[in-house]
């Protein structure tokens, strides 16, 4: 009797950025105290779960190890907040303001940021997993030494952003403004820069190893690394 053959496990050929798991958000009937949430509730080690928060102002609050779990924030002011060790799990931030916030050593897992302002936000030494960032202004944001897993930026302004020493392997930058962005000592293998603007970025040839770019981008990157690129008839 022939030995039955084992079926080979199917592995997805999609890039990591296309395998992003969406946040598990609360429904209206599951929420607890969202409408009554106040600034006094945002304290060190606060745990905020299953909440819909609209039009709230939490700007300039300082608290460590705050956790938002299954939370939908819409039109919320978070500018200037200092949330070291922030934990965002199953969270959507929609049309929120996180500009000049400091979220060092934070963890973002299954998070979406859509239409947010984030100029100068600092998310250094953090971990981002299954994160979609779309239509956001993140000019001069800092993501130094941050680890990205299954992350996608879509139509974002990242001009002058600092992504040095970051692990950006497999990250997709779709239609993003990356002029003058800093990628020194970053890991960019499999990172997709097609359709994004790369003028005057700071990066080394070693960091670019394995990155995905368009032919015209490749010619430009070769020039900024000191190569003399010429067309056949030049």
Q: Using one digit for the tens of pLDDT, what is the confidence trace for 78-113? A: 999 999 999 999 999 999 999 999 999 999 999 999
pTM: 0.86
Residue 228: pLDDT band (50, 70, 90) is: low
List helix spans (H) across the chain. 215-224
Say how far apart CA 163 and CA 59 lie, in whole Å: 25
Say how far apart CA 82 and CA 137 lie, in whole Å: 19
Domains and CATH numbers, the chain: 16-228 (2.160.20.80)
Q: Which residue has the higher pLDDT, 135 or 224?
A: 135
Q: What does DSSP assign to residue 33?
A: S
Q: What is the mean pLDDT of residues 193-203?
A: 92
């Amino acid at each position: 009797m022939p030995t039955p053959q084992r079926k080979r496990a199917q592995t997805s050929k999609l890039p990591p950025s296309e395998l992003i798991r969406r946040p598990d958000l609360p429904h209206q009937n599951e929420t607890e105290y969202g409408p009554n949430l106040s600034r006094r509730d945002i304290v060190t080690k606060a745990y905020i779960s299953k909440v819909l928060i609209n039009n709230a102002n939490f700007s300039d609050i300082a608290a460590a190890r705050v956790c938002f779990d299954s939370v939908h924030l819409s039109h919320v002011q978070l500018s200037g907040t200092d949330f070291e060790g922030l934990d965002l799990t199953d969270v959507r931030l929609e049309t929120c303001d996180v500009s000049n916030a400091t979220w060092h050593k934070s963890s973002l897992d299954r998070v979406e940021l859509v239409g947010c302002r984030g100029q100068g936000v600092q998310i250094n030494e953090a971990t981002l997993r299954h994160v979609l960032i779309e239509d956001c202004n993140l000019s001069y944001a800092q993501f130094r030494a941050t680890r990205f897993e299954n992350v996608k930026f879509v139509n974002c302004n990242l001009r002058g952003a600092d992504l040095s020493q970051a692990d950006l392997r497999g990250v997709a930058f779709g239609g993003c403004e990356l002029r003058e962005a800093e990628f020194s000592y970053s890991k960019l293998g499999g990172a997709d820069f097609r359709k994004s603007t790369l003028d005057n970025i700071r990066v080394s040839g070693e960091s670019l190893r394995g990155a995905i770019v368009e032919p015209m981008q490749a010619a430009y990157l070769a020039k900024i690394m000191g190569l003399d690129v010429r067309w056949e008839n030049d």
